[in-house]
Amino acid sequence: MGNMNDIFDTDRKTLQDVEQRLEMPRREFLQFCATLAVTMGLPSGAEAAVAKAIESAKRPSVIWLHFQECTGCSESLLRAEHPTLEKLILDVISLDYHETLMAAAGHQAEAARKDAMKANKGKYVLVVEGAIPTKNNGIYCKIGGHTAIDLVKECAADAAAVIAIGSCASWGGMPSTIPSISGADSSPTGSVGVSEILGRVVPTIPGCPPNPYNFLATVVHFLTFGKLPEVDKLGRPKFAYSRLIHENCERRAHFDAGRFAMEFGDAGHRQGYCLYKLGCKGPETYANCSTLGFGDAGENNWPVGCGHPCIGCTEKGVGFQKPIHQVAKMLNVTPPLQYPRIVEEQGKAASFASAAAVAAVAGAAAGAAIMLTRNLGLSHAAEEAERAKDAGKPSADKAGV
C-alpha cells in the first residue's frame, strides 16, 4: 500500500510540476491530452501516454527553417490562446533555431543552428515552412549565403524526423502558382515542396495557414511513440486529412436540401445556405477544418463559417490553381446539375421537361443519392425556356425539342 501511495504522490508531484511549468491548470492539461489523443485517432486510454510523454520526455531539439512563405504558419501557432499554445510548444520542444522568433541574428543565428544540429545529431526534428525555389540553382532564396536547397538537404541529413508545415512547404503552395497568361510551364522561381527536394515522402501539414493543433498533434505523437503518425500517399497525417471537408461541413444539410447561395450577399448567403455554387472546394478537399476549431476564436472561425467558399488550400491542384468561382468536383458523389431545386423561385415553376426528367430518375432509382441529385439547380430546359422568353423567341418546349 505504501508503494501505491508513493506512485500516487509521484504522479501528483509530476502534474504539479507540469502545472507550474506550462502555467496550465492540471485539469485543463489532462483535458488537452485527451483532446490530442482523440484528434490523432488513438484508442481509449492513450491520453495517459500522451500526458506522460509531455510530462517527462526529453524535449527534442527543433530546427525550424523559413523559405518562400509569409510566416503565416508560425503566426497561426503564436495566436492560439486556449490553452496558451505558444507556451506549450516552447516548453514541449526546444526551439533552437527559428529565424522569426529567435533573438540571435547573422553569424550568431547560423552558429546556433549548427551547434544544435551537432549536439543533437540524429535526434532533432526539422520543420520546414515555405516553398523551395529551384530555378537557376535556387538563387531566389538564400540564407547565410546558402540556398534553400542546400539548407534543406544539410539539415535533413541528420534529422530524426522532417515535417513540412503549410501548403508552400507541402507542395509549393502559392509561390508555385503558374500565371495563366505567361505561357510558362512552371512558376517564376520553380517553387516546389520539401518532398520533391529530398526525393521521399515527407510528413506534411498543409493549409494556408494550417490549423496549429494538427501540427501540435503530430509533434506530440512523435514524443509519445517515437515516430510520426500514419500518413496518406501525399504525406498528410490521416488523423487530420482523411475526410473531405464537405462530409462534416456545418452547411451540409443545406446542400442535401438543395439550398444554395447563388450570389454573395443574396438571401441564401445571408441565411447560411451552402456555398457550393459559389465555388466552395470542400467537396474535393481533404482536411478537418469543419470539425476542429481554428485559433480558439470560435468554431465559426474558418472560411465557410465566415461566409466564404473553401479555396482548397490543403489540396495540391486545387488551392491557388482553380478559380475561386469554379464549381468543385464532387469526389464522393457526382450529381447532374440539370435537376430543379427543391423549392423553385417564386413565379418560375419547373417546366414539363424538367418534371419529366425528375420523374424518370425517380423511377429508375431511389434513396438518398437521388434526393441529393434532384435538388441541384434549374434544369437546362427550364433555363433555355427562360432565355428564349426573355429574348422574345419561341421556347424549346414550344419548338418541340
Q: Is residue 33 part of an annotated ligand binding site?
A: no
Domain of residue 63: give its range.
Answer: 58-241
* Average pLDDT of the residues in 192-211: 92
Contact between 257 and 341 (Cβ < 8 Å)? no
The predicted pLDDT at position 159 comes to: 94
- Count CB neighbours of 82 within 10 A: 11
Lowest-confidence pick of 63-77, 121-135, 314-328, 351-365: 351-365
**Same domain flag for 236 and 248:** no
Same domain, 317 and 355: no
Nearest to 316 by CA among 290, 286, 292, 279: 286
208 annotated as ligand-binding: yes
pLDDT at 104 over 90: no
- DSSP lists the bridge partners of residue 368 as none
Number of domains in the chain: 4
Verify that 250 and 375 share a domain, yes or no.
no
Q: Indicate whether 77 and 172 sit together in one domain.
A: yes
My answer on whether 356 and 287 are in the same domain is no
Q: What is the pLDDT of residue 361?
A: 42
Residues 185, 130: one domain?
Answer: yes
- C-alpha span between 398 and 385 (Å, rounded): 9
- The reply, when asked if residue 313 is annotated as ligand binding, is yes
Regarding whether 270 and 186 lie in a shared domain, the answer is no
Nearest CA among 77, 84, 113, 98 for reference residue 23? 84
70 annotated among ligand-binding-site residues:
yes
Q: How many CA atoms lie within 13 A of 339 on its CB side?
A: 22
380 is in an annotated binding site: no
pLDDT score, position 6: 40
Give the mean pLDDT of the chain: 76
Does residue 207 sit in the same domain as residue 217? yes
Which stretches of 286-376 are DSSP H helices? Answer: 352-364, 368-373
Query: 141 labelled as ligand-binding?
Result: no
Which candidate, 273, 278, 295, 266, places its Cα nearest to that of 342? 273
More confident residue, 9 or 318: 318
Contact status, residue 374 vs residue 362, Cβ threshold 8 Å: yes
What pTM did the predictor assign? 0.70
249 is in an annotated binding site: yes
Residues in contact with 159: Cβ distance below 8 Å, sequence separation at least 6, in sequence order: 63, 122, 124, 125, 126
Q: Are residues 175 and 247 in the same domain?
A: no
28-37, 98-107, 190-199: range with lowest mean pLDDT: 28-37
Asked if residue 320 and residue 211 are part of one domain, the reply reads: no
In the block, which residue shows the cell 523559413?
66
- Given 201, 223, 241, the domain boundary residue is 241
Write the DSSP symbol of residue 131.
Answer: B
Among residues 336, 308, 338, the alpha carbon closest in space to that of 324 is found at: 308
What is the Cα–Cα distance from 61 to 159, expressed in whole angstroms?
10
**How large is the average pLDDT for residues 195-219?**
90
> Do 148 and 142 meet the contact criterion of CB atoms below 8 Å apart?
yes
Indicate whether 35 and 115 sit together in one domain.
no
